[in-house]
Chain A
Amino acid sequence: MVLETQNLTKQFNGKGGFKEVTLSVEKGQVFGFLGPNGAGKSTFVKTMVGLLHPTSGFAWILGKPIGTVESREKVGFLPENFRYHDWMTGKELLSFHAELYKIKNPGKKIDELLELVKLKGHESKLIKNYSKGMQQRIGIVIALLNDPEIVFLDEPTSALDPVGRIEVREIIKQLKSQGKTVFLNSHLLSEVEMVCDEVAIINHGRIIAEGKLEELLKEHTHVEMIVSDYTSELIEEISRLSKEFQFKEGKLSFKVEDKEKIPIIAKMIIEAGAKLYQLNTQTSSLEDLFINLIGKDEVS
């Protein structure tokens, strides 16, 4: 495991933060950490990179306990509220961070990364003359300077235009292809859906759902069917296998937690001697899942 936590808790005078988070992130995964504003996402990431001290619980990065210098050796981090020394030029800033990582001869790496985030040619400008988007891009360069095993990106596209967002998505995919692990904090669900393998959803500091993205989405497949010549026993049996079941004049509408139930239900209909005219399935988007889970959590 690249990242592992056990009942990790960080609270501020008994409030806020996150509670009893148990997570594990495998090598080479793009892990999405989702939640509404104030859910505890940034607090979690800041705790992982040693900026906050956990209240209780345990966590390891690459097998090293968090808070230690060793645990940060192969870590890259782009903070949510990124701010860099504005009296430095882009090049000075990158050299400074490379020196903090004790990288020898970082020139080539810096050039490569500047090219990657489309900042080549701007490295001699003072950071104070950079736009917010440019500062976020140079933040990405800083996060990748040490060729990290795991990169924590906290809202990495918050200051970027749509083209910039696509570019960051490509960078994330590229990191994944290199076997790097990316921990992505975001509330841009479409972004997460496009790049993440696994997600965890946090609300009020607690994890309310976690797992492989496709598994989570599969659990919420919406099915519509049009049938005729059915019996009331058949309809009752279908309703037992599904959720949010609705039936009106031969039209069935329901959700299944497992896609495998769809052919089973279709087979049941045929074997019961009923006629199946139409079968439509629609997998929920991450947005539907998110709204659904957060909504349920708020009610409970």
Chain B
Amino acid sequence: MITIIKYTFKEMLKKRAFLLVSILSLLYLSIYAFGLSRIFEHPSNSIYDIIFQSQILSAGLFFANFIVAFLVLLTSVNAISGEIESGTIYSILSKPIKRYELVLGKFIGLGAMIVIYSSIMFLSVVGLNIFMGSKITFEASNILRGLFFFDLGPIVFLALIIASSSIFSTVNTGIISIMAYGIALVGGVLEQIGAAMQQSQVGAFGLKSGESLINAGILTSLILPTDVIYRKMTAELLTQSSGISFMTQGPFGGMSQPSIYMFIYIFFYVVFLLYYGAKRFSQRDL
């Protein structure tokens, strides 16, 4: 399995998609840095400034997260299916290795690269905010916890892609992954709106509609929990040890936080996907 991990990692570095996303990321970070430099040009100490700055940070992380998801999809969609479609798999699986080793090896190899890339993106966005003079005080523990959840989302998405790629064709995996990611994103937005409606308490009608939107969001999180992890990340990053929360980040932030049960679900979600993908792949005729 170590061989598969090593060569998957190498392959990803050599892929054109990786180069493309890297250029795109640099471009994004440059534009974001330019934007921040203008925003932080005239500092003030008003509370509105802090709220505004938390929104800017959250927007930066939201789009960085989006670019990471883009990279995960581009580099992993054909991880297994591409090997089958091209025929390179014949010379690999006729060797004395088990099929699950290929699935897990691909997952770990791609996962390692994605964690490195995702961490660079996260630390760059947060670092740029600190460097430009953000009023939000970041503690190391906030940053570390935020980083953990920022990296966890793409890993969960990767598990879905790898499982799908082990069972279906590249095209079908692409469709399944994009649809699942889109549903999770829309569901997440609906859940936020629901939570906002409940908080503003716009009468009994508002409360009921809010609740159904939250439920819809929870349901979509079960399909792909990337959005829920993203919201946990913003909460961890922006809730200070003093108890002060800067979680008022507009459309890119989180009004409602996922429960511990959701994280237990996420753990089993990843394990099940990898187990099921490897099992189905082992039963496949190649």
Contact = CB atoms under 8 A, between A and B. Distances in A.
A84 B237 CA distance: 45
A100 interface: yes
B285 interface: yes
A70 B285 CA distance: 19
Nearest to A76: B94
Interface of A: 12, 46, 49-53, 69-70, 72-73, 75, 77, 79, 81-85, 87, 96-97, 99-102, 139, 142
Interface of B: 3, 6-7, 11, 14-15, 86-98, 283, 285-286
A51 B286 contact: yes
Contact of B95 (A81, A85, A97): A97
A69 B101 CA distance: 12
Contacts of B7: 85, 96
Contacts of B286: 46, 51-52
A55 to B, nearest CB: 10
Given A85-B11, A96-B7, A69 B88 contact: no
26 contacts: A46-B90, A50-B93, A51-B90, A51-B94, A69-B97, A72-B94, A72-B95, A72-B96, A79-B87, A81-B87, A81-B90, A82-B90, A83-B86, A83-B87, A84-B91, A85-B11, A85-B88, A87-B15, A96-B7, A99-B6, A100-B95, A100-B96, A100-B97, A101-B95, A101-B96, A139-B91
B91 to A, nearest CB: 6
Given A51-B285, A52-B286, A96-B3, A79 B90 contact: yes
B142 to A, nearest CB: 40
Interface of A is mostly: loop
A97 B95 CA distance: 8
A96 B105 CA distance: 14
Contacts of A53: 283, 285
Contacts of A87: 11, 14-15
B85 to A, nearest CB: 10
Nearest to B4: A100
Nearest to A71: B96
Contacts of B90: 46, 51, 77, 79, 81-83
A50 B88 contact: no
Contacts of B283: 53
Given A72-B95, A75-B94, 6 more contacts: A51-B285, A53-B283, A53-B285, A83-B87, A85-B7, A99-B3
Nearest to A152: B94
Nearest to A154: B90
A84 B97 contact: no
Nearest to B284: A53
Nearest to B3: A99
B96 A83 contact: no
Q: What are the 4 A-B residue pairs with the smallest beta carbon separation, nearest first?
A: A83-B87, A99-B3, A79-B90, A49-B94
Nearest to A100: B95
Contacts of A72: 94-96
A49 B92 CA distance: 11
Q: Which of B7, B15, B90, B283 is the most central at the interface, judged by chain A CB atoms within 10 Å of its CB?
A: B90
Contacts of A52: 285-286
Nearest to B11: A87
Contacts of A50: 93-94
A85 B6 CA distance: 14
B91 A142 contact: yes
A132 B283 CA distance: 31
Contacts of B86: 83
A102 B98 CA distance: 13
A73 B93 contact: no
A176 B89 CA distance: 28
Contacts of A46: 90, 286
Contacts of A70: 96
B87 to A, nearest CB: 4
Nearest to A96: B7
Nearest to A99: B3
Nearest to B91: A142
A83 B98 CA distance: 20
Given A87-B11, A100-B3, A82 B98 contact: no
Nearest to A143: B91
A90 to B, nearest CB: 14
Nearest to A72: B96
Given A53-B285, A87-B11, A82 B94 contact: no
Given A51-B286, A52-B285, A84 B96 contact: no
A73 to B, nearest CB: 5
A142 B89 CA distance: 13
A142 B91 CA distance: 8
A139 B88 CA distance: 11
Contacts of B95: 72, 97, 100-101
Contacts of A69: 96-98
A139 B14 CA distance: 22
A84 B86 CA distance: 8
B91 A77 contact: yes
B94 A77 contact: yes
A76 B217 CA distance: 52
A101 B92 CA distance: 10
A96 B109 CA distance: 15
Nearest to B13: A87
Contacts of A139: 91
